[in-house]
Amino acid sequence: MKTYIVIGGSKGIGKAIIETLIVDNKIINISRTAPRFNPDNLTHYGCDVLVDDLPEIENADGLVYCPGSINLKPISRLSIDDFKEDFEINVLGAVKAIQKYLPILKNGKQSAILLFSTVAAKLGMPYHASIATAKSGVEGLVKSLGAELAPTIRINAIAPTVTDTELASKLLRNDKMAENITERHPLKKYLKPNEVAEMASFLLSEKAASMSGQIFEMDCGIVSFKI
């Protein structure tokens, strides 16, 4: 049984990841609110990763950093503080967690780190300037640390398209908007959290032992295809 630290696992993709991993592993969740389930092999620490000191943990084999943001505005309405906030949530929070838990991950069993980007880092999309900038920083971090931490620790990122979570609720707030987003994707669908969780589970596992420094696009075809 491995031990995974999941930051931001109380809802959305993070919650789905915990539900997937908890079957065979010990999970330590760090988030402001506790998950609504409490199996014996789940430990929760109430913590705001951007403000509070991260808890001391004795051992871990993997780290998943889930916090993110969707701040969609035209450039004329984005303030410098908007850019700073998105960068802090998506990049600096991940850096803080990695720096904190790197010593114990180095002692883990085939340890792995998983971060999250977005399809908007590769596909130019209106109103995504701030979040695309921040997530591009995540991708740069993955590439750099993949080289720096090899062969001891692997690090990868998933870049999902729209996923049916609370964070994306404004994009899917009615049937018409959901239909429009479905039609924009060549595979005529958008993501469910459990789909992303299954990919996360694979990338953390020994089945992905040859993969590091990679960005895995779960795009339902929107980046990969021009149809």
Q: What's the per-residue H, E or C state across 18-71?
A: HHHHCCCCEEEEEECCCCCCCCCCEEEEECCCCCCCCCCCCCCCEEEECCCCCC
**200: three-class secondary structure by DSSP:** helix
Domain boundaries, the chain: 3-163+192-218
Q: Is the pLDDT of residue 169 over 80?
A: no
**CATH architecture of the domain formed by 3-163+192-218:** 3-Layer(aba) Sandwich (3.40)
Q: Is the pLDDT of residue 168 over 90?
A: no
The answer to whether 30 and 55 have CB atoms below 8 angstroms apart is yes
pLDDT at 226: 81
pLDDT at 227: 79
Tens digits of per-residue pLDDT, 170-195? 778 888 888 988 999 999 998 999 99
